[in-house]
Structure 1
Amino acid sequence: MKKVILLCFVAIGFALNASAQDISPNALGLRLGDSDGFGAEISYQRALGSKNNRLELDLGWRSNNNYDAFKLTGLYQWVWNIDGGFNWYAGVGAGVGSWSYDTPGYDGDGTVIFAAGDVGIEYNFDIPLQLSLDIRPEFGSNSYDGFDIALGVRYRF
């Protein structure tokens, strides 16, 4: 976990030294991945007042052999240009989710409220397509902790 936190600080420090770029007013698509099993999220990004800030909302589910989860995450992100269409971004936010376990000897379900961070890289093509790769650590109630690594594909408009 210390390595993840260190990686986040290094990425944010690097990003602070890069120049800002105008970002798309809106982007809608999918964020696919998870640290364990498969998960998909419908992802929406909305540019905010300044040239390099945006809000990201993700509604998704996670599933593997032992559990199923459903969650809504909201993140405030800062975006910095690296070169051309390449950007770094970092963000913080929160979310709420519902989960259920079904393993031999233990069945349960519950609700979780969590805090989340986000660090990633994206590329905006000349056509209205955005690809991103990010990591998102999550910490919350009911001993919840998550670590997502995901690929995002969004239509920019």
Structure 2
Amino acid sequence: MEKLKNLFPVLILCLAFSINTHSQTNIEAGVRFGDNTGIDATIPLGISPRLHPTVYLDYFGVGTYFDWMFALTDGPSGLKFYPGVGPEFFFENDFDFNIAGNFGVEYSFKFPLTIGFDWRPGFAVTNDFDFYTGNWGIMARYRFKEGGFKRVD
């Protein structure tokens, strides 16, 4: 629990800096259901890359992924694919630190709703350095303040 107290202010400062620096961009927030249920958000860092934090509720933890966005040439407007990578911190019984991938597809409607499906495999760095393949999820997010960077179509 002491590690959580030390880590929490750092995470809040990083999130606050991202929001303050890019407040003119589209930020999304919503829910993620699947192997790990949580509160899911995206914070654009430019036209393509974004920060993708998730607070997991069933196995309490925080994951923050850096995603690169891609759209199909001549594909449906609003359909995007993304690979990503980032750290995960879990605080349930013991402290767990993981390095995870984030691979997904999502669709942004013309109204402020994005739905998606993703997979987050990873390596558990603490506790035996295991590879895990779970953590599938579907998500629905609300897009705040349309404007700033244009969505990747």
Per the TM superposition, whether the score is higher than 0.5 is: yes
Q: 1:99-138 to 2 correspondence within 5 Å?
A: 99=92, 109-138=93-122
Q: RMSD value over aligned CA atoms?
A: 1.4
1:152 is paired with a residue of what secondary structure?
strand
Match runs of 1:38-117 below 5 Å: 39-48=36-45, 50-62=46-58, 69-82=59-72, 83=75, 84-99=77-92, 109-117=93-101
Q: Which residue of 1 aligns with 2:137?
A: 150
Q: For residues 111 and 138 of structure 1, what CA distance do their matches in structure 2 show?
A: 16
Q: 1:145 Cα deviation (Å)?
A: 4.4
Amino acid at match of 1:27: E
1:111 deviates by 1.0
CA distance in 1, matches of 2:43, 2:142: 12
In the alignment, residue 42 of structure 2 is paired with which amino acid? Q
Percentage identity across aligned positions?
Answer: 28
Structure (1/2) with the larger strand percentage: 1
Question: Which residue pairs with 2:148 in the alignment?
Answer: none
Q: 1:18-58, CA deviations, whole angstroms, 9 ceiling, x for partnerless residues?
A: xxxxxx62100011101xxxx3110110000x311100110
Structure 2 unmatched runs, 5+: 1-24, 145-153
Shift of 1:61: 2.4
Residue 27 of structure 2: aligned partner: 26
Runs of 4+ in 1 over 4 A off after TM superposition: none
Alpha-carbon separation, structure 1, partners of 2:61 and 2:123: 13
- Compute the TM-score of the two structures, normalised by the length of structure 2: 0.70
The whole-number CA distance in structure 2 between the counterparts of 1:136 and 1:142 is: 18
* 1:106-149 deviation digits (Å, cap 9, x = unpaired): xxx31101101011100000110000001100211113544211
Structure 1 residue runs of 5 or longer lacking an equivalent are 1-23, 63-68, 100-108
Query: TM-score, normalization: structure 1?
Result: 0.68
- The residue type equivalent to 2:142 in the other structure is Y
Which residue does 1:12 correspond to in 2?
none
